[in-house]
A and B are shown apart, each in its own frame.
Chain A
Amino acid sequence: MMQCLSESDVQGYLEESGPTPLRQTVEGHLVSCARCRVEFDRVVATHQRVNAWLSELASPADATAVDVHTAFARVSNRIDAHDHLARLLAPAAVEIPWYISLYRSLGELIRPVKLPPLDVTSRPVAVKTIWGLYARDPRSRWVSVGIHAAVFSLLMFGFTSPTMQRAIRQNFTILDPNLKPFVPDMKPQGGGGGGGAREAPPVSKGQLPKPSMKQFVAPQIVDHTPKLATDPSIIAPPDTPLPQSTLNNWGDPLARLMNGSNGIGSGGGMGDRRGGGVGSGNGGGFGLGSDGGIGGGVFHAGGGVSAPAVIVKVDPEYSEEARKAKYSGTVVLSVVVDQEGRARDIHVLKSLGMGLDEKAVEAVQKWKFKPGMKGGQAVNVRAQIEVNFRLL
């Protein structure tokens, strides 16, 4: 009896077509073997069902034509790109660790590798000399000057329109701006101040404290923190314009050095003389002069300074020449009434002549004044006095 059909035989029978030897063998065996027929029927049923399901995969898209040439070109490009990249990127094996590279370098330094003699196959070719000393060639200098002049002229005249040039000319006024509204009025109002701490260096450069008619603390550079801090001030009317400085320390803004010194003077301020002010004067003000205020000289009436008043007046005498000529008029004098009420530093502001000016000065020198007062103290005040000469 023939051996029963194998799984391969049955499936081969189904897959092959036509009268093949395998099919004939299977058919012959199925006639005589009932068990194989049962198994065969089962396999056929599975075969038919699965083929039916798989046939569902057929779709209208199967009829779509495939562009093989385009696809091949695309794959070729991709392969070329990969090969190019592979050539650019060296494999990791090429990279040598630094210590091995160092070891080799040292080895080659100690024992240089003897290379075979170089077989030079190239020969020198004569070429024109391209290097030379161009610095001493006067032509290059003039060429350079010419190029610079041309470029400058082009920039100034070629690339600027007349409108632009007019605008530039108009804007030249910015080189001479009117700064008068911004410049503090430093007209001396009389007085001044100074002080110091008997230090060797001259007074330091710095900013001035606020002006005030009453001074509680004189400005000074101190190296300790006061227990009761009070802003220092100089004696001057509060609205007095003062020279400004951006420095943080107190000092004389007109000084040249910033050395932290309070000056060689005394009295607690900063400067060369005596007092609680700042500068080269005496007193609590700033600058030359004395007894407060700024700018040096004496006080003028106003701004907290009272005008001096005449207590004892002596009439002036007439000169002979003026009497004969019957000459009359007014002589205007400028005087400084000192703290004792005397007139000094007398100047003639308006002259009459004929000896009357001298007579007027002689008379005023004999006058007795109540001095000008500032803060309850007598100060030197400059004043104008008119001396009248009348013939009865």
Chain B
Amino acid sequence: VQQTYEAVLLSAGPPSAPGHQFEELFFEHYPRLVKTLLRLVGNSGQAEELAADAFYKLHQHRSQQQPDENPAGWLYRTAMNLGLDALRSDSRRVRREEQAHRDALAHEAPGNPLYEMLAEEQRERVRTVIARLKPIHGQVLLMGSSGFTSKEIAAVLGVKLDSLYVLISRAKAQFEKEYTCLFVRSDGRTQ
């Protein structure tokens, strides 16, 4: 059915401001989402940017389609995908690594600067492995290491606890396999 331009404008109505529910969701999950993404991408500014993108996409998703029954799950899944995309982007990653090295050398850490640099290298290794996993595996591992309880993760993912445990078990096994393949030498020592 063809619509006239006026009809479309009238049906559009006034601009929809973020609803109350969206605001509640934002204030409840934004800080934890930023922390989780920070572990994934290693840059607080980028983590906040990705989190804001995820909320913006959530709003667009809910305004265009039927409201999701599990908006938090959709939000974390989207944020994780955005983070993994950013992590897999070579240009950003190289830039971040260079920035991490510069930061490690420039900022006089209270401990040993060399230790900080090695720690950052280790973080990069872990992120590299996460980027190679399935997104759902990476998400559960990352949320678990960020302080989410199993029940919270299950609620976010919309799965039962038993299923979550299986998911975590397989994610960790896959993580170990990938990590060993990439960074552990045949004599059992880390490269």
How far, in angstroms, from A10 to B4 measured CA to CA in the complex?
A: 62
Contacting pair B30 A66 (CB below 8 A): yes
Tell me the nearest residue of chain B to A64, going by C-beta. B44
Q: Which of A9, A16, A61, A80 contacts B150 (CB 8 A)?
A: A16
Contacting pair B51 A61 (CB below 8 A): no
How far, in angstroms, from A43 to B125 measured CA to CA in the complex?
A: 22
A47 at interface by CB-CB < 8 Å: yes
| Total residues of chain B contacting the partner, CB 8 A | 56
Contacting pair A47 B48 (CB below 8 A): no
Tell me the nearest residue of chain B to A83, going by C-beta. B15
The minimal Cβ–Cβ distance linking A87 to chain B, given in whole angstroms, is: 5
B8 at interface by CB-CB < 8 Å: yes
Residues of B within 8 A of A350 (CB): none
Which DSSP category, helix, strand, loop or mixed, fits chain B's interface? helix
Contacting pair A76 B123 (CB below 8 A): no
Tell me the nearest residue of chain A to B179, going by C-beta. A53
- What mask results when residues 23 to 62 of chain B are scored 1 for a CB within 8 Å of chain A, else 0? 1001100110011001110101000100110011001100
Q: Which of A46, A55, A61, A75 contacts B44 (CB 8 A)?
A: A61
Given contacts A66-B31, A71-B52, contact A7 B166 (CB under 8 A): yes
Tell me the nearest residue of chain A to B175, going by C-beta. A50
Tell me the nearest residue of chain B to A104, going by C-beta. B2
How far, in angstroms, from A149 to B115 measured CA to CA in the complex?
A: 90
A11 at interface by CB-CB < 8 Å: yes
Residues of B within 8 A of A325 (CB): none
How far, in angstroms, from A247 to B88 measured CA to CA in the complex?
A: 80
Which DSSP category, helix, strand, loop or mixed, fits chain A's interface? helix
B12 at interface by CB-CB < 8 Å: yes
Total A-B residue contacts, Cβ distance less than 8 Å: 134
A103 at interface by CB-CB < 8 Å: no
A116 at interface by CB-CB < 8 Å: no
Q: Which of A11, A68, A84, A93 contacts B168 (CB 8 A)?
A: A11
A54 at interface by CB-CB < 8 Å: yes
A82 at interface by CB-CB < 8 Å: yes
Contacting pair B162 A76 (CB below 8 A): no
Given contacts A56-B119, A79-B56, A79-B59, contact A11 B166 (CB under 8 A): yes
Pick 5 A–B contacts, CB within 8 A, sort by A. A50-B179, A54-B126, A54-B144, A54-B145, A62-B35
A sample of 9 more A-B contacts (CB under 8 A), given A12-B150, A43-B169, A68-B27, is: A7-B170, A8-B162, A54-B126, A54-B175, A76-B18, A79-B56, A93-B8, A94-B2, A100-B2
Q: Which residues of B contact A (CB under 8 A)?
A: 2-5, 8-9, 12, 15-18, 23, 26-27, 30-31, 34-35, 38-40, 42, 44, 48, 51-52, 55-56, 59-60, 119-120, 122-123, 125-127, 129, 141-142, 144-145, 150, 161-163, 165-166, 168-170, 172-173, 175-176, 179
